[in-house]
Amino acid sequence: MNPATASWEAQIDERVNLAKLCLRTGSFTAIHVLLAHDVLAETDHAKTLQRTNLGPAGGRSASNVANEIDAINIGAVTAGQTNYDGFSKKIEGLKDTAPDEDAWEKIVDAAAADAKKKADQTIDDAAQKAKGVIQKLPPDARLPAANVFKSGLDKVMGFFQSVYNGINTVINAIANFIRGVWDKLKAAAQAVADAAKSAIQWIGGIFGFAAFDATWPSHYSAKTVNREFALVLDDLSQQGFEVDDFSMQKTNKGWVVRTAVNSPSGHKDGPDVFWNQSISAKTSAVPAGMAW
């Protein structure tokens, strides 16, 4: 297929297939080549989209469409971070069982396979959401919008390389776990968390989306956490902030809710100020700022 002449949908499918191939093989060189090409060519797909006449397009501007597509890619990073946390938590649970190398290898291998499967599904889900947005645009705007998604997906895959590396680090550390040495599990989780934060800031831009989380007490019910967080979403929305889909997971520290917030123009303070204020004023949670 010639990328220059293929339909916008075919180009998205090709990039998704490449991303999933990277996850299967562990080789992310092709993604790094694409990222380097955009940097060296000073390519700005969002600006190209902004030069496109969207016509009615549901009353949305090109900037809004680009932000919506960015939010889809950021959502993929958020989902990937949550899924990796689930993988890491499952392995940490081995501490409560008697050391058994064969049994633990089977558990780790099964958890790793499930984590990689979820990564594949996350990429597919992001592509389907992006296609849904792009399909509603005028024909001339669809390819530029697809390029915004593909460029963001390349950055998402930079994050998923850290997920892949983290999974392999854990697989190769089973002998350490048997001896009661768990530092590599914690280090791998931190590396993935750092990569998530970097990817979200890269996709959203320095003054775009930023990653945040907050922790509720573990004895709270999921319903209570959802109800309180809804107050935060409403508060931020009223102040003009755009909030990406959030994820919620119960950990040994409590209920952790993660999301990404985009600053509207005209705000003197960054989203971190409003996030901390809103969490403190509206909920029982502890804001963690940009703690990923």
Calculate mean pLDDT across residues 176-187.
95
pLDDT at position 172: 96
| 106 or 265, higher pLDDT | 106
CA dihedral 209, 212, 157, 88 (to 10 degrees): -170
Interval 13-56: pLDDT, tens: 999 999 999 999 999 998 888 888 776 666 677 777 777 766 65
pLDDT at position 230: 85
Strand partners, 262: 209, 242
Cα distance from N-terminal residue to C-terminal residue, the chain: 39
Percentage above 70 pLDDT, the chain: 82
pLDDT at position 205: 64
State the sign of the Cα–Cα–Cα–Cα dihedral 70, 25, 38, 193: positive
CB 197, CB 260: distance < 8 Å:
no
Of 67-81, 166-180, 270-284, the least confident: 270-284
Helix pair 101-135, 139-171: axis angle to 10 deg: 170
Interval 52-93: pLDDT, tens: 766 654 445 666 788 889 889 999 999 999 999 999 999 999
pLDDT above 50 for 206:
no
Interval 234-274: pLDDT, tens: 887 777 777 766 678 888 788 888 777 765 544 555 566 77
pLDDT at position 263: 59
Give the other-Cβ count within 10 Å of 122's Cβ.
21
Q: From CA 212, how far away is CA 257, in angstroms rounded?
A: 8
Phi, psi of 237 (to 5 degrees): -60, -40
pLDDT above 70 for 281:
yes
Q: From CA 54, how far away is CA 19, in angstroms rounded?
A: 29
pLDDT above 50 for 121:
yes
pLDDT band per the 50, 70, 90 thresholds, residue 207: very low
> Domains (ranges, CATH) in the chain?
1-202 (no CATH), 206-292 (3.30.70.260)
Calculate mean pLDDT across residues 130-154.
92
The overall average pLDDT reported for the chain is 84
pLDDT at position 232: 85
Calculate mean pLDDT across residues 270-291.
75
Residue length, the chain? 292
| 194 or 271, higher pLDDT | 194
Question: Which tokens in the block code for residue 113?
Answer: 């396979």
pLDDT at position 37: 76
Of 51-60, 136-145, 200-209, the least confident: 51-60
Phi, psi of 260 (to 5 degrees): -135, 140
Q: From CA 239, how far away is CA 274, in angstroms rounded?
A: 9
CB 226, CB 248: distance < 8 Å:
yes
CB 238, CB 292: distance < 8 Å:
no
pLDDT at position 94: 96
Phi, psi of 43 (to 5 degrees): -80, 130
